[in-house]
């Protein structure tokens, strides 16, 4: 039997002799003794999964949940929209399976889907796309053709040949689960993470940053890609509401640096896993956080030096200001005295008047002639005056 599909990947069921075609769109399967040939159709939304992982994941979808005890597959196919209330029962079951260390098949399948469709499911998803994912399913309608033909073994009979076609529907429910249920669930973990990150704050920037980086790495350790995406959202939410119990001037810078490190890791998350030889470790987060710690520490040192210089400048400015004030006061006092001296009726005018009087007197003395004779005459006048006074007293 030759099987051909318009979408998906065709694989032979174990126990049947088969030969796959190009791109796994076709497969030839030899019938068994009962004339039955079986093939398995896998979705194109995932890549490079083993048959065991796909079978284990299929078994999870057959798990019965809810009050009506329906399988997850039945709930998904019966729901009108991804936001139907019954769908959240199925979402909760998938979330529990994904977060469980024992259900690695769910983690492998969902992470493989996220790696292939990460560009559509990243934080760049617009509100319109998110709303569409809530209100409308993305269904892939598939046609599978089957052709019977003679085999190449001459020892086996070749009964009448025939052909047939069947229509299948694959419903993409993983995208809505990630966008409207799993990732938004980060909100419930923010209080717990806030307490964890709060305990990393000290009075030293470098120590606080390193402790916070280790706490974040420990939080996302051993989680799947989607699980880490949810945890990083929780970390950013916790950082936003983080407050220091003691005054720390570097807290805004620390919050900004760690948020930027988380954003960078989220941008590189799927690329790290998708690349050949990629790693599941938080390389981008470690690199950026470490660089930010060193850079900010150096900036802190420079800032301290600048503060010392500023203090020295302020002291010089204060001393200079005091000197200028003293000079201004002295100049003001001198100016006041000059104003008093130069003012009308002031000291300078009085001196000028006295000098004029002396000059007049000197000129009058000069008119009397020789100064020696003037002195003798003045003495004679004084002697005559004394004699007259004695005669008047009867003496």
The rounded distance, in Å, linking the Cα atoms of 233 and 7 is 34
Residue 110: strand, helix, or coil: helix
The pLDDT tens digits for 359-370 are 666 566 656 666
Selected residue with higher pLDDT from 377 and 31: 31
pLDDT(279) > 50: no
- Identify the pLDDT of residue 102: 78
Q: What percent of the chain has pLDDT over 70?
A: 63
User: Is the separation of the CB atoms in 179 and 125 below 8 Å?
Assistant: yes
Classify residue 82: in a domain, yes or no: no
Instruction: Specify if 237 maps to a domain.
Output: yes
Min mean pLDDT across 260-274, 331-345, 347-361, 381-395 is at 331-345
Whether residue 165 is found in the same domain as residue 290: no
pLDDT at 359: 61
The DSSP-derived string for 159-225 is ----EEEEEEEEEE-HHHIIIIIIGGGGGGGHHHHHHHHHTT--S-HHHHHHHHHHHHHHHHTT--H
Q: Is residue 28 assigned to a domain?
A: yes
pLDDT of residue 392: 61
Band of residue 284 on the pLDDT scale cut at 50, 70, 90: low
Out of 273, 303, 333, a domain closes at: 303
Q: Residue 115 — pLDDT band, cuts 50, 70, 90?
A: confident
pTM metric for this prediction: 0.66
Task: Check residue 328 and give its pLDDT.
Answer: 61
Number of neighbouring beta carbons within 10 Å of residue 122: 14
Q: Give pLDDT, residue 206.
A: 86
Average pLDDT for 31-59: 88
Same domain, 206 and 296: yes
**Environment class of residue 126 by beta-carbon count within 10 Å: exposed (0-12), middle (13-18) or buried (19+)?**
exposed
- Mean pLDDT is lowest, of 73-87, 90-104, 177-191, 255-269, for 255-269
Count other C-beta atoms under 10 Å from residue 16's C-beta: 16
CA 71/CA 66 separation, integer angstroms: 9
Q: Is residue 213 part of a domain?
A: yes
Question: pLDDT exceeding 90 applies to what percent of the chain?
Answer: 32
Say if 98 falls within a structural domain: no
pLDDT at 354: 63
For residues 149 and 24, membership in a common domain is answered with: yes
pLDDT, residue 170, reads: 92
- Report the SS3 class of residue 142: strand
Mark which of 273, 288, 303 sits at the end of a domain.
303
What's the pLDDT band for 385 if we cut at 50, 70, 90? low
Higher-confidence residue of 119 and 200: namely 200
Residue 267: closest CA among 63, 119, 69: 119
CA distance 75 to 86: 7
Q: Write the CA distances from 305 to 72, 267, 297, 308, 316, integer angstroms.
A: 64, 36, 13, 5, 17
Q: Classify 94 as helix, strand or coil.
A: helix
Assigned token pair, 394: 């009867």
- According to DSSP, residue 13 is labeled P
Q: Supply the range of the domain harboring residue 223.
A: 186-303
Asked which of 303, 332, 347 is the last residue of a domain, the reply is 303
For residue 11, the cross-strand partners are 40
Residue 318 lies in a domain: no
Residue 6's pLDDT band, with cuts at 50, 70 and 90, is very high
Are 166 and 34 found together in one domain?
Answer: yes
Q: Is the pLDDT of residue 82 over 90?
A: yes
Does position 175 have pLDDT exceeding 60, yes or no?
A: yes
Question: Which residue would you say has higher pLDDT here, 240 or 281?
Answer: 240
- Looking at residue 203, what is its pLDDT? 87
Mean of all residue pLDDT scores within the chain: 78
pLDDT of 141 > 80? The answer is yes
For residue 23, the 8-state DSSP code is G
Looking at the domain assignment, is residue 374 inside a domain? yes
In this predicted structure, the answer to whether residue 56 has a pLDDT above a threshold of 50 is yes
Cα 291 to Cα 298: distance, rounded to the nearest angstrom? 11
Of 95-109, 161-175, 180-194, 286-300, the least confident: 286-300
- Tell me the DSSP string of 251-316: HHHHHHHHHHHHHHHHHHHHHHHHSTT--SS-HHHHHHHHHHHHHHHHHHHHHHHHHHHHHHHHHH
How many domains does the chain divide into? 3
Question: How many other CB atoms are found less than 10 A from the CB of residue 13?
Answer: 14
Judge whether 360 lies within some domain: yes
- Same domain for 190 and 220, yes or no, is yes
Q: What is the pLDDT of residue 185?
A: 92
Closest to 229 measured CA to CA, from 325, 327, 111, 126: 111
Confidence category of residue 302, pLDDT binned at 50, 70, 90: very low
- In terms of pLDDT, which residue wins out, 221 or 368? 221
Is the pLDDT assigned to residue 275 strictly greater than 50? no
Q: Are residues 217 and 259 in the same domain?
A: yes
**Which of 104-118, 161-175, 243-257, 276-290 has the weakest average pLDDT?**
276-290
In a shared domain, residues 240 and 370: no
Q: What is the pLDDT of residue 381?
A: 67
């Amino acid at each position: 039997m030759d099987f051909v599909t318009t979408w998906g990947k065709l694989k032979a069921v174990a126990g049947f002799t088969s030969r796959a075609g190009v791109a796994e769109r076709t497969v030839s399967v030899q019938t068994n003794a009962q004339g039955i040939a079986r093939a398995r159709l896998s979705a194109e939304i995932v890549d490079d999964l083993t048959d065991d992982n796909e079978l284990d994941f299929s078994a999870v979808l057959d798990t019965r949940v809810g009050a009506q005890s329906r399988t997850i597959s039945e709930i998904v196919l019966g729901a009108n929209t991804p936001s139907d209330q019954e769908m959240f029962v199925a979402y909760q079951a998938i979330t529990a399976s994904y977060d469980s260390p024992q259900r690695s098949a769910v983690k492998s399948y969902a992470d493989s889907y996220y790696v292939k469709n990460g560009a559509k499911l990243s934080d760049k998803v617009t509100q319109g796309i998110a709303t569409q994912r809530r209100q409308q399913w993305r269904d892939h309608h598939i046609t599978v053709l089957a052709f019977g033909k003679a085999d190449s073994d001459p020892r086996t009979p070749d009964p009448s040949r025939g052909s047939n076609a069947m229509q299948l529907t694959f419903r993409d429910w993983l995208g809505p689960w990630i966008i409207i249920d799993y990732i938004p669930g980060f909100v419930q973990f923010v209080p717990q993470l806030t307490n964890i990150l709060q305990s990393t704050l000290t009075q030293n920037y470098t120590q606080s940053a390193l402790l916070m980086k280790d706490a974040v790495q420990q939080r996302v350790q051993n989680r799947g890609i989607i699980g880490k995406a949810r945890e990083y959202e929780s970390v950013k939410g916790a950082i936003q509401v983080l407050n220091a119990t003691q005054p720390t001037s570097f807290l805004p810078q620390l919050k900004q640096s760690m948020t930027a490190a988380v954003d960078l890791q989220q941008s590189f998350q799927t690329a790290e896993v998708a690349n050949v030889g990629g790693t599941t470790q938080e390389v981008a987060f470690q690199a950026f956080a470490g660089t930010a710690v060193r850079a900010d520490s150096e900036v802190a040192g420079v800032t301290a030096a600048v503060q010392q210089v500023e203090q020295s400048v302020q002291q010089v400015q204060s001393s200079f200001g005091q000197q200028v004030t003293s000079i201004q006061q002295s100049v003001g006092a001198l100016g006041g005295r000059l104003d008093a001296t130069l003012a009308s009726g002031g000291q300078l005018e009085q001196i000028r008047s006295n000098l004029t009087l002396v000059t007049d007197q000197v000129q009058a003395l000069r008119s009397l002639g020789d100064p020696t004779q003037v002195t003798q005459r003045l003495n004679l006048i004084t002697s005559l005056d004394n004699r007259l006074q004695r005669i008047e007293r009867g003496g």
